[in-house]
Amino acid sequence: ENEDNSLVEVEIETGRRHQIRMAMQYLSAPVVGDELHGAETDPYHRVCLHAHSLEFLHPSTDDPVRFEAQPPRLFNIR
């Protein structure tokens, strides 16, 4: 366990490539494992970024569609 890490929730509007990763780097709090954007190490051999939910309007019906997924176990969320 590493108590130097925090779980944060981020909501984006535009969905631009690397938007969250670059914002976290700017805040001097890079995403764990994201060596490209300032993380010093990659302890899990992956970028520890997870989409908990995705929501959009269905292209044919305009109905809202939402998908949710639990975080990976390696995130060790209590």
Reported as a single tens digit per residue, the pLDDT across 26-35 is 999 999 999 9
Q: How many residues does the chain have?
A: 78
In a domain, 35, yes or no: yes
Q: How far apart are CA 13 and CA 20, in angstroms?
A: 11
In a domain, 70, yes or no: yes
Counts of helices then strands in the chain (DSSP H, E): 1, 2
Q: Of 34 and 2, which is predicted with more confidence?
A: 34
Per residue in 5-53, pLDDT (tens digit) is 888 889 888 778 889 999 999 999 999 999 999 999 888 899 999 999 9
What residue numbers bound the domain in which 70 lies? 19-75
In a domain, 53, yes or no: yes
pTM for the structure as a whole: 0.76
Q: Cβ of 39: how many Cβ atoms within 10 Å?
A: 19
Name the domain count of the chain: 1
In a domain, 32, yes or no: yes
Do residues 19 and 11 make contact, with C-beta atoms less than 8 angstroms apart? no
